[in-house]
Structure 1
């Protein structure tokens, strides 16, 4: 090894002793910086990764490696110095290895000088260092392969130009074999085989942050094969003078052939091993995580995952199929006998294609495809089916991929978040299947229902019959629960009244009345208890046996892990357009609805009846405006019953219609209710210098004419929340990364909010933010400079979202229920007074158990389709952070937190911090200067090393002279 390193040092000194090394490094850095900042437009792309740096590396290294190696052996042959090298007492393979290591070291030095680029990205955004490490490793391996090829070609000729052209052609051939242009012509089977042979496809696999043993072996095999061929080629030059020893020649050929054959065989053998890999990405997005394993461990029936992938498909989708296959194979291994994974091409299996369309609703999508002779539109499949029992869900290509638009015809396509997409689908079919089964089978601890019901003679009609139904339903439940369910029915009016006092103090249960005109008090309350956890059970609106069955079953399900939860969603009624779109009863929040339905049962409610739907596990209220007393009462009593209420509300309604931004101040109807709990939603909006630029209409005066145009400018009403603005300890925001809060009202808390409750400050603005109660949303750059708005005096962090957990006291305590006949509520409907309507049984629960949660978000605009669409247009990728925040809040509240760690890991979810033009120019210039400084440092280090060697040589000569 010492001899090899001496050869490498000699060659490296020769590189730096001439302009070759500096031209190579300078050219390499110039191309890298140009591609990074200009070709791939790093700042316009707005993604915190270094993919643009390495995207062109397989092509760039073809030419640079060929140029670097073209003279290493051909010049030795042409100058006649090769014969001298071959007579040295150094084995030939060490000479070859020394030259190879010298060239690879030069590439490594050039790569090291690009490190300021990922460091810059890490300063500007949440960089995932796993793919960065993988990309540098992949570049070194690819360079090693190309250098080995270049050395072989150089050893075969004495003409450096021929060596340059030959090495370029062979390296280009290895790259083109796996290129999308070629693999797209051969379908999945042939295309996958070509990708296994191509250097570029293997390179892409490692740069995504997955170090696969098969990829390492592939590159090392190329290096080994071509270095062996190089040694054999140089050894043959000796044979011209040694024709009398054919046995020696045959032995050399045999050894070379064995080396090449063994390296090829090792690749074929390793190709059957699919799980020998390391996922370096943050969160291990290409590997099976613990939440997914937990869902797989809950399987009792076989789970089928079938991939429908056509051989002819879009060329940008074809490379994603092997990635999905590897992930699904890992799921199959983790699930054992309970999971079966299949991949089919519907074209080859007509019966499966027919079943896919008729039973599962899977149909082909028209993609443009090209074959060897023509370009055409083909019907292609890119779908997954997940089936468990009688439950199934499908994932189409739009559910699995994420697209980054970089130009009119330039698209970057990756798998969005494959493990999350598959895991949440497995969760839905698993929970859906369990929901149709016996609810008691899923209980992990026994539960007890306690009913506090007055004697039949004290109950108004139709409650005596309902009491009998309750006893019958509870007896049936206990009979089939196999000891996991028990019940007790007690009369609070009996005895000395101690029970009535206890339930009033512990649960806030006060006597009920039918009407203010008939104020005879009675009790009809229920709770479900498991250990220390208590959940009140509301009376069903229908006041019948079926209603009791539903409400009690829904309450028991909350103690049974693995049951599909029900969300009640309130959104504004159809009315005036918000954000230029119909009211949220229509498509205003369609994306939010779609995403929530992926993991929950979603029911709509207007809260007009004064009650939340009886099977509700969580209440989500978005954009409330002028809520009446019945609606407030419904929200309040759901919270008092230990439920979770998520409010997304603002004190301003913003309209983008007419090509301008207008706003009006509104009352949510919840101001007094929130104030009772120590929370104030301020009648203002937050402005923050750290904001997300968005396209807004701007008027310019050109020669006396006002011209309105759309520009992407800083807009302080869109605070960009990240880093210190996100609570790092809460599961709601810990993995969110960042989020833009559109037109958000600040939240203030008084001492009452923290009394006896856990308060979590989920989202906060930067410390330079301020608030404004102005209804003028249009920026005025002439009056207020580049920011467009006057800076307020109340600068500092503004609270944008907060979560409170603990006991709450109802503001309705001590008052009659607004749902009763004869109340002063003007919103009571005529229908409630008809003969056929069931009587309203209503009381007021004065206080909540400690399990109650209230989450307040100071904006509803950020959840609208329009706001999400604006962000999607600005980032040129699908922006889903607002929906992810709500999904996280729901799962955290329902304590079904398996997917919290997986969500938000999309390929394009890591964006740069907002930067103005001056800052972008600064960081770009810093990298240019860093490259020049690095090149100067290399030159200085070489000069210092050269001087040390000269001094050492002079010392040796001097000591020799003295000895003489």
Structure 2
């Protein structure tokens, strides 16, 4: 080891004896910084990673390593010193190892000089250090492979230029084998094989943040093969001029055997897929606990079919092997319950026909271009997940993310395939269970509590319904009678003690038929399983079928894994009637949100105009409410009092996007309702200096003439929230990393009124925030050139979203039920049915629940435009990719409210999710020039170090001469 390190130090210092080392370091730094900031347009790309640093590394190292090693042995041969080295006491292995370690030392030094780049990126964005570490590891192993090739080629010639050409040629062939230039000429099966033997494709796999033993050994095998060839080449120099003998043949056979072992071990390791480490921050490329939990819930075979054609779009082709590997992990994790199949419909007509007829899968035409012509490829890129009689098809739009770059360049990556697959499995299993007997999947027995007054006090319509309830329950529990018990009690008995207890514990009150018939009576129902108590609402129609639906909906809320129902209350399309007359579907300003919600829950829309929330509702999603009347407000209030879960997005400002943005003040009708709970949404809009950008028209004066152009400028009404501004401890916001909240208002919490309820801040603006009560939507860059809006007051952080859990007091606790007033106003008048015959109005029975159980939850987001198509489109336009963070937050809020945390941990984890913090051009230039300066400083430090070393060597030599 001493001899080895002595030679390595001698060779390392030899690099600096000439300008070669400084040229190597200078060119390496210059090219990498140019690629990052100019070639890949780092700030325009707007992603907090250093992938551009490593993207061109396999190609860059070919030329740099070739230049570094071209004189290693060829100069020794040309000067005649190789004979002295081979006859010296130091063995050839030490010579080879010393030169190899010296080259690795210079490569490590070069990589260390690039460390300021990821460090600076970590200051301006949420950098995931996993891919960074993977990139440096991959570069070291790739550099080792190239160094071994360069040393061998240098040992084969005495001309350094020839050595450089040979090294570049061989390394280039290894790179070309796995590059898209060659793999795009073949189908994905042949392409996958070529990628397995290509240096660049293996490199990309590690730089994702997945360190796989197979990838690392691949580089080690190349290194071992060419170091063995280098050793054989030196041994042949010793034989020069001697006739072949047994010893020579023995050396050749030993080297060939060693090379064969290096190569064959790659094939032996190919099936070993578990020897890998996912070092990304969120374990993006490994199956999460949520996925394992979903797979554990399977009671029927789950079949996953991947339909991928051999020829596909060049940007999609590299993604197919990754999806295949992921599906194989599902098969391993699911065991016998999961079957994975890979099919190519273009090669099997029966498969193609089945894909089209059963699943509606058809090939997608992609336009491609080769060197000589452009063509259209009809390709399959689909995954079908089926469970029982349920199935769902995932297409390339579900599986990939596309980000536009400058000069019409597209960056394509997998979106979040694990989330999409696990979400699909969760939905299919939940749907399948919903169609099954609910009692069969219950973990604990259920007790039905019926709190009914005596028959003399009940209206005649409810007397019959009272008897139907028990029949319905017994019919539903057939085969599982041991899981159901029924208890019927009269709250008026024993002096009304039970009634008082119900009022105190659940806030229940006696009902009345109408104001003209004020005789109170009890008709309340609950289902209890363990500590969970779910109320059974009285159906709108008092027939047996409606009562069964109400009981089934309540029962499914106690059943784990059943697909939940979300009722959405959103503004109606003002042109709905006109569109209906023209045969066109009504449009919604929340189309993207609705489409995403339907992937995970049942979505039902309602205006609550009858004062009731649909009985099957598990969660109420209230979006941009406007002028809600008393009955709508009562429906929301009583749903919360029954232990309901509400997610609400509201503020005093309404934004319209026509030819230009316009804003006006509006009322939701919930201001007093929220104030009674201790919540106030201020009638002001939040403006934040830390904001996303927006394309706006700007007037510029050039040579005395005014020109109007569109520029991306910081848009203060779009606060850009990051870090602790998104509560890192709460499940709703923990995995989001970043959030743009459009046209929001501050939330104020009255702690005295809030009482014992737990209030958690979810979103908070930066300390650079101020507020305004104006309705200016377009920034005025001429009057306010810095931010486009006038600054008012002392800037401070503002709360923009909260989550509240606990016992709520009803707004109507001391008020008359609006439904009772409505029933009295009708005066028992008869109405006409569809055939024109008179029929009596349906009776309305109502009461007020004064307080909610502790399980009630309310998530409040102070923005009318939150998750609207308008806001999502504007932010997507800025980022150059589809922006879904608000949708992810709504889904997280729904899952948290319904206590269904399965998908919370893996939602929103995409490659393009981590964006840079907003900054102006001057700040961007500062960080760019800082990296240039740090690179120059690093070169200066290396030069000073080398100068001090040479000065020390001279002083040592002087001492030796003086002694002599």
Give TM-score scaled by structure 1 length. Answer: 0.96
Aligned to 2:252: 253
Question: Structure 2: any 5+ residue segments left out of the alignment?
Answer: 577-581
Matches of 1:9 and 1:587, distance apart in 2:
71
Give secondary structure in 1 for the equivalent of 2:782: helix
Counting only pairs closer than 5 Å after superposition, residues 713-792 of structure 1 correspond to structure 2 as: 713-792=713-792
- 1:131-161 Cα distance to aligned partner (Å, 9 max, x none): 0010011111111111111111111111111
Partner residue, 1:74: 74
Quote the residue 2:638 is aligned against.
637
Is 2:592 the partner of 1:591? yes
Contact 1:609 1:631 in 2 (8 A): yes
CA shift for structure 1 position 111: 0.7
Alpha-carbon displacement from aligned partner over 1:924-959 (angstroms, at most 9, x marks no partner): 11101110111111122222333344444544555x
Question: For 1:119 and 1:825, how far apart are their aligned partners in 2?
Answer: 70
Q: Specify whether residues 71 and 700 from structure 1 end up closer, same or farther in structure 2 by C-alpha distance, changes over 3 A only.
A: closer
Judging changes above 3 Å, is the alpha-carbon distance between structure 1 residues 546 and 408 closer, same or farther for their aligned structure 2 residues? farther
Aligned-pair CA distance for 1:572:
0.2
1:25 & 1:703 partners in 2: Cα distance? 46
Match runs of 1:165-180 below 5 Å: 165-180=165-180
Task: Give the match for residue 329 of structure 1.
Answer: 328
Contact residue 768 and residue 795 of structure 2 kept, 8 A: yes
Q: Partners in 2 of 1:653 and 1:398 — Cα distance?
A: 32
Determine the structure 2 residue equivalent to 1:532: 531
Aligned equivalent of 1:856, options 856, 860, 868: 860
Distance in 1, Cα, partners of 2:656 & 2:156: 73
In the TM superposition, residue 658 of structure 1 has moved relative to its aligned partner by 2.6
2:304 counterpart of 1:300 = no
* 1:888 equivalent in structure 2: 892
SS of the residue 2:819 aligns to: coil
1:463 matched to 2:462: yes
CA contact (8 A) 1:364 1:381 kept: yes
Shift of 1:781: 2.8
Shift of 1:922: 0.6
2:929 aligned with 1:925:
yes
Matched, 1:842 2:846: yes
Q: Which moved more, 1:821-830 or 1:20-29?
A: 821-830
Check whether the contact 2:514–2:820 (CA below 8 A) recurs between aligned residues: yes
**SS of 1:387's equivalent?**
strand
Q: What is the aligned partner in structure 2 of residue 818 from structure 1?
A: 818
Q: Quickly say closer, same or farther: Cα 1:753–1:951, change in 2 above 3 A.
A: farther
- The equivalent of 1:181 in structure 2 is 181
Deviation at 1:313, TM superposition (A): 0.1
Query: CA shift at 1:87, angstroms?
Result: 1.0
Q: Distance in 2 between matches of 1:825 and 1:728?
A: 51
- Quickly say closer, same or farther: Cα 1:371–1:875, change in 2 above 3 A: closer
684-693 vs 940-949, which moves further:
940-949
Q: Deviations over 1:734-793 (max 9, x none)?
A: 111110010001111112453010000110111221111101222223333311211111
The CA distance in 2 between the partners of 1:936 and 1:456, in whole Å, is 96
> Alpha carbons of 1:64 and 1:824: their partners in 2 closer, same or farther (altered >3 Å)?
farther
Contact 1:439–1:557 (8 Å) recurs in 2? yes
Q: CA deviation at 1:702?
A: 6.6
Q: Secondary structure at the match of 1:716?
A: strand
1:626 maps to 627
The alpha carbon displacement at 1:820 in A equals 2.6
Counterparts of 2:762 and 2:714, CA distance in 1: 24
Alignment of 1:41-120 (within 5 A): 41-120=41-120
Q: Please name the residue that 2:208 is paired with.
A: 208
Matched, 1:221 2:221: yes
Q: Any conservation in 2 of the 1:621–1:648 contact (CA below 8 Å)?
A: yes
Query: Could you tell me whether the CA contact under 8 Å between 1:818 and 1:825 is conserved in 2?
Result: no
2:156 matched residue in structure 1: 156
CA distance in 2, matches of 1:825, 1:855: 35
SS across alignment from 1:587? coil
Determine the structure 2 residue equivalent to 1:132: 132
Deviation at 1:375, TM superposition (A): 3.5
User: SS of 2:15's equivalent?
Assistant: helix
3-state secondary structure, aligned to 1:645: strand
The number of residue pairs the alignment matches comes to 954
2: distance between equivalents of 1:459 and 1:413? 66
Does 1:676 find its partner at 2:679?
Answer: no
Name the CA distance, whole Å, in 1 between partners of 2:256 and 2:464.
92
Matched, 1:604 2:601: no
Specify the SS of the correspondent of 1:305.
Answer: strand
Quick check: 1:740–1:862 contact (8 Å CA) kept in 2?
no
Matches within 5 A, 1:870-885: 870-885=874-889
Contact 2:611–2:632 under 8 Å retained in 1:
yes
Corresponding residue number in structure 1 for 2:405: 406
What is the SS of the residue equivalent to 1:855? strand
Which piece of structure 1 moves more, 338-347 or 779-788?
779-788
Query: 2: distance between equivalents of 1:862 and 1:709?
Result: 28
Once the two structures are overlaid, the 10-residue window that deviates more, 906-915 or 946-955, is 946-955
Displacement after TM superposition at 1:865 (Å): 1.2
Asked if the contact 1:538–1:614 (Cα under 8 Å) also holds between the matched residues in 2, the reply is yes
Cα distance in 2, alignment partners of residues 362 and 849 from structure 1 = 48
- Residues 687, 716 of structure 1: 8 Å contact kept: yes
2:445 is aligned with 1:446: yes
Contact 1:130 1:282 in 2 (8 A): yes
2:830–2:840: 8 Å Cα contact kept in structure 1? no
C-alpha separation in 1, matches of 2:717 and 2:342: 49
Equivalent residue runs for 1:505-654 within 5 Å: 505-575=504-574, 586-654=587-655
Residues of 2 paired with 1:826 and 1:769: CA distance? 51
8 A contact 1:567–1:601 mirrored in 2: yes
Aligned to 2:688: 688
Tell me if structure 2 keeps the 8 A contact 1:818–1:824: no
C-alpha distance 945-487 of structure 1, shift in aligned 2 (>3 A): farther
Matches of 2:87 and 2:585, distance apart in 1 = 86
> How far 1:542 sits from its partner (Å)?
2.0
Q: 1:952 and 1:449 mapped to 2: Cα distance?
A: 95
Contact 1:184 1:370 in 2 (8 A): no
Contact 1:152/1:226 (<8 A) preserved: yes
Correspondence for 2:579: none
Q: Given the superposition, is the C-alpha separation of residues 678 and 158 from structure 1 closer, same or farther in structure 2, using an over 3 Å criterion?
A: same
Q: Distance in 1 between matches of 2:301 and 2:557?
A: 25
> 1: CA distance between counterparts of 2:786 and 2:527?
59
Is the deviation greater in 200-209 or in 428-437? 428-437
Q: What is the aligned partner in structure 1 of residue 807 from structure 2?
A: 807
SS at match of 1:714: strand
User: Structure 1 residue 456: deviation in Å?
Assistant: 2.5
Question: 275-284 or 810-819: which moved more?
Answer: 810-819
Gaps of 5+ in 1: none
Provide the C-alpha distance between the structure 1 equivalents of 2:591 and 2:957, rounded to a whole number of angstroms: 79
Greater mean alpha carbon deviation, residues 714-723 or residues 814-823? 814-823
TM-score (norm 2): 0.96
Work out the CA distance in 2 between the residues paired with 1:66 and 1:822: 87
Quote the residue 1:275 is aligned against: 274
| Equivalent residue for 1:938, pick from 938, 942, 949 | 942
Q: Is the 8 A contact 2:830 2:839 kept in 1?
A: no
Deviates further, 531-540 or 477-486? 477-486
Asked if 1:869 is matched to 2:870, the reply is no
Tell me the residue number matched to 1:915. 919
Closer/same/farther in 2, CA of residues 489 and 903 from structure 1, 3 Å limit: same
Residue 684 of structure 2 contacts residue 746 of structure 2 at CA under 8 Å; is this kept in 1?
Answer: yes
Structure 2 residue matching 1:496: 3-state secondary structure: helix
Shift of 1:373: 7.2
Task: Name the CA shift for 1:239/1:837 in 2 (closer, same or farther; >3 Å).
Answer: farther
Is the CA contact (8 Å cut-off) linking 1:516 and 1:822 kept in structure 2?
no
Structure 1: distance between partners of 2:681 and 2:830: 34
Corresponding position of 1:355: 354
